[in-house]
């Protein structure tokens, strides 16, 4: 059920935040707020929290968002959230459109923190940040950065692989590695089981107890 109380606009800086649970439902884009002068060419009316995940269709949850982001990385995140929910998980989500200006201004970026409790009871937290720019703009920024002198030549004594390759070879390797990394939606698959999490907590508790004992004996 959509709940407008989960969505707020900060009157001091214009930041728009959704903070609440996610729920899979039929998307509804009716009665969306009109475009304003804050929208740049290529922008769409983007939901901070998707309509299909419980987001409302007003200024407390809709803002200018470049179409590459709206249909790209941000949409991939929403697909991951939806898949997790459909497999029995619960998600408490905090999403912020970072404006740092006045209410109604165009967001600079979108920040997301999702706490997911999976069907087996264990929980994981996922963080995402998205720049509100086109793919072409971001690629141009990356190219400009890579073109700076010595970008790939900074010393790194612990990287034996890097020292054995030229700058061009290393840059090519990094690009191919990035292409093989899991997508954003894949982040929402459980990284560990409840048993693994419990075992890890037990080890941490044991280690903490050992440290405490050592400190006591030192006194």
Q: What is the pLDDT of residue 203?
A: 42
**Residue 10 main-chain phi, psi, to 5 deg:** -80, 120
User: Across-strand partners of 63?
Assistant: 46
What DSSP assignment string belongs to 106-144?
PPSEEEEEEEEE-TTS-EEEEEEEEESS-HHHHHHHHHH
| Segment 163-176 mean pLDDT | 65
For residue 137, give Cα distances in angstroms to 100, 133, 152, 181, 183. 21, 6, 21, 22, 21
**Rounded Cα gap, residues 29 and 81, in angstroms:** 19
Count of C-beta atoms within a 10 Å radius of residue 106: 19
| Segment 39-63 mean pLDDT | 97
Q: What is the mean pLDDT of the chain?
A: 83
| Segment 83-112 mean pLDDT | 97
Reported pTM: 0.75
Confidence class of residue 195 from pLDDT cuts 50, 70 and 90? low
pLDDT in tens, 62-77: 999 999 999 999 999 9
Q: What is the pLDDT of residue 211?
A: 38
Tokens of 122: 């264990």
Tokens of 149: 């002198």
Q: What is the pLDDT of residue 204?
A: 40
| Domain 4-198 listed as CATH 3.40.570 | yes
Contact 18, 57 (CB under 8 A): no
**Domain locations in the chain as residue ranges:** 4-198
| Segment 197-203 mean pLDDT | 49
What DSSP assignment string belongs to 41-100?
TTEEEEESS-GGGT--SSTTTEEEEEHHHHTTHHHHHHHHHHHHHHTT-EEEEEEEEE--
Q: What is the pLDDT of residue 218?
A: 40
The yes-or-no verdict on residue 198 having pLDDT over 90 is no
Contact 108, 132 (CB under 8 A): yes
């Amino acid at each position: 059920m959509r709940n407008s109380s989960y969505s707020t606009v900060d009157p001091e800086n214009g930041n728009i935040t959704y903070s609440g649970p996610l729920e899979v439902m039929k998307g509804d884009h009716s009665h969306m707020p009109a475009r304003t002068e804050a929208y740049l060419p290529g922008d769409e009316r983007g939901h901070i929290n998707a309509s299909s995940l419980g987001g409302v269709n007003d200024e407390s949850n809709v803002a200018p968002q470049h179409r590459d982001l709206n249909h790209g990385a941000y949409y991939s995140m929403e697909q991951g959230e939806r898949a997790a929910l459909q497999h029995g998980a619960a998600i408490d989500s905090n999403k912020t459109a970072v404006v740092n200006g006045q209410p109604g201004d165009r967001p600079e970026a979108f920040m997301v923190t999702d706490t997911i409790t999976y069907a087996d009871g264990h929980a994981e937290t996922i963080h995402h940040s998205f720049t509100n720019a086109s793919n072409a703009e971001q690629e141009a920024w990356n190219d400009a950065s890579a073109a700076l002198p010595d970008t790939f030549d900074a010393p790194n004594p612990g990287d034996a692989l890097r020292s054995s390759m030229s700058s061009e070879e290393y840059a090519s390797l990094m690009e191919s590695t990035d292409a093989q990394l899991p997508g954003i939606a894949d982040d929402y698959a459980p990284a560990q089981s409840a048993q693994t999490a419990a075992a890890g907590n037990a080890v941490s508790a044991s280690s903490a107890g050992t440290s405490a004992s050592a400190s006591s004996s030192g006194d």
